[in-house]
Amino acid sequence: MTSGHRCSCRPSFWPLLAALASAQAASSQTTWNVVPPDIQSAVNQANPGDTLVLAAGGYYPFTLNKGLTIVGTNTPVGYGPGSPTPAGIHIQVPVGQVANLIGIDCTYSYSPYGSIGTAVQVLGGSVRFDSCTLRSGVTNALEASNATVVVTGSTITAVGSIGTGNGIYATNSSITLRDCVVRGADSACMAPLGCLYGTYPAKQAVNLDGSTLHAERTTFVGGSQGWGPVGGAAGVQAGPGSSVWLANCTLTGGNTGQGGTALVNNGLVADLLNTTLNPGSPGGSASSGPVNTAAPLLQAALAPIWMRGATSTLTLTGTQGAPYALFLTPAATALTTAVVSEPVWVASAVSISGGLLDTVGVASFSISVPNVPALQHASVWCQAISGFTLPLRASTIAGGVVR
């Protein structure tokens, strides 16, 4: 490639990917065609690395305990009207495996008090969500514990119904978000007696407990308090030992009573770039705790998503003239290292390209995806690192599953 200016390059990693896909096919990995309403039976029969393709229709919640790829198309997962108890999706993936969930719609699930959605719990391992709609009216819409979670092109919403929750609650986990919207629940009256009995408080869009949040082009909205003196919730709340890196994001505190703070940071210095902090109304604050609003973060964007026989553009944006390296990252776990500020996924990475960002800090790649059947549902993720001095900066991982 040519260094020092914007480029339109075709890296050589697609032949490598095709070889990997052929190797996967040779190892007898299987595609399962699943019909409503039962995903669990197919999960139980499938082997790690297999793909489950969901036919149109609604499905029951399930438990996932292996590294499978589950492909839907805005496919509803939940129970219909009259369900006696809330139900959720529970995921715990063994070390070294990765679960991919694509096109899952968790807005459809009911209780005697109305629509409550289907909460998702990741109790361990590496899980990646793409083009999903996650929603809960009972608890946290997405909860992660001892996990590495990547979410791209998705909406994550907690709503006040028979409880309230955070959009995302993370304990000892690594959370990566790209091109998402995350909302915490507004306050809600306690069922079945109503607000005279009491209220569930508004919750944060993201609440971190000893965890990391690395996000690009994502909107965070804290929940608002419906009545009374209690204030709105934070857009993002980072507890002790947590780290936050946000590029081109918008954080908004909740309203009513006392406006919420857009970013409450009780962890390490939060690094922000081109990020807007909107205080809640009335009298909210933009941020509390240590915040660097002009951090030299590196960003990655992919558009459109990988499609066989189509061309996508991968764009890196960082510091003018800075050296960069781009990797294919099959690693299942986000790592921390002294020479890179943000978590990196390069433990088993393959180097794709390197050079210098141009005079406006950009490098772009036009990537043609071969129309090879073996690439269907292959998982392809990239990450870049860049900088003049240590520690280097890392982008979020860009990519996804080939459609």
Predicted local confidence at residue 23, as pLDDT: 45
| Torsion sign, CA atoms 326, 236, 270, 127 | negative
Predicted local confidence at residue 13, as pLDDT: 55
pTM of the model: 0.93
In CATH terms, the fold of domain 299-401 is S-adenosyl-L-methionine-dependent methyltransferases (2.20.130)
Predicted local confidence at residue 278, as pLDDT: 98
What percent of the chain shows pLDDT beyond 70? Answer: 87
Kindly report, residue by residue over 328-352, the tens digit of the pLDDT: 887 788 888 889 999 998 777 677 7
Q: What is the mean pLDDT of residues 372-378?
A: 82
Q: What is the mean pLDDT of residues 21-26?
A: 46
Predicted local confidence at residue 193, as pLDDT: 63
User: Under 8 Å CB-to-CB from 28, ≥6 apart: which residues?
Assistant: none
Strand partners, 362: 317
Which has the minimum average pLDDT: 14-18, 131-135, 365-369? 14-18
Residue 105 has pLDDT above 90, yes or no: yes
Predicted local confidence at residue 380, as pLDDT: 84
- pLDDT band, residue 3 (cuts 50/70/90): very low
Residue 185 has pLDDT above 90, yes or no: yes
- pLDDT band, residue 377 (cuts 50/70/90): confident
Supply 346's token pair.
């390069």
- pLDDT band, residue 191 (cuts 50/70/90): low
Neighbours of 77 (CB within 10 A): 30
Residue 89 has pLDDT above 60, yes or no: yes
Predicted local confidence at residue 25, as pLDDT: 46
Contact criterion met (CB below 8 Å) for 104 and 72? yes
Residue 369 has pLDDT above 90, yes or no: no
What SS3 string covers the chain? CCCCCCCCECCCHHHHHHHHHHHHHHCCCCEEEECCCCCHHHHHHCCCCCEEEECCCCECCCEECCCCEEEEEEEEECCCCCCCCCCEEEECCCCCCEEEEEEEECCCCEECCEECEEEEEECCEEEEEECCEEEECCCCCEEEECEEEEEECCEEEECCCCCCCCCEEEECCEEEEECCEEECCCCEECCCCCCCCCEECCCCCEEEECCEEEEECCEEECCCCCCCCCCCCCCEEECCCCEEEEECCEEECCCCCCCCCCEEECCCCEEEECCEEECCCCCCCCEECCEECCCCCCEEEEECCCCCCCEEEEEEECCCCCEEEEEECCCCCCEEECCEEEEECCCCCEEEEEEECCCCCEEEEEEECCCCHHHCCCEEEEEEEECCCCCEEECCCEEEECC
Strand partners, 264: 237, 288
Predicted local confidence at residue 81, as pLDDT: 66
Averaged pLDDT of the chain: 88
Predicted local confidence at residue 158, as pLDDT: 96
Predicted local confidence at residue 367, as pLDDT: 82
Q: What is the mean pLDDT of residues 203-222?
A: 98
What percent of the chain shows pLDDT beyond 90? Answer: 66
Predicted local confidence at residue 98, as pLDDT: 93
- pLDDT band, residue 308 (cuts 50/70/90): confident
Contact criterion met (CB below 8 Å) for 351 and 384? no
User: How far apart (Å, rounded) are the C-alpha atoms in residues 12 and 99?
Assistant: 26
